Amino acid sequence: MSGFDWPVLMRLGLHGLRLTPAQFWALTPAELHVMAGQGLRSPVMGRDGLERLLAAFPDETGPEDTGEMSDVGP
């Protein structure tokens, strides 16, 4: 069981919000929740939460990473 009531969500998105199937399936659950007028389920992440996330998933850097932006283009 996924925890989502797909028939209800699809009815809301496709009929209630008049989204195309592509638009509906491109949404995240949080975006659909907000569009349904329900707001966000959890508060916005604060600085402490960001620090915990950064500590748990640090950026991987290689020897070529100087920390400077490069002009990458076609």
* Residue 44 scores a pLDDT above 50: yes
Check whether 24 has a pLDDT greater than 50.
yes
Residues 50-67 have pLDDT tens digits of 999 899 999 877 666 566
| pTM, to two decimals | 0.48
Q: What is the pLDDT of residue 45?
A: 78
Q: What share of the chain is helix, strand, coil (3-state, %, to 5)?
A: 45, 0, 55
Q: Which residue has the higher pLDDT, 64 or 8?
A: 8
Per-residue pLDDT band for 1 (boundaries 50, 70, 90) equals very low
Cβ contacts of 33 within 8 Å, gap of 6 or more: 39, 40, 41
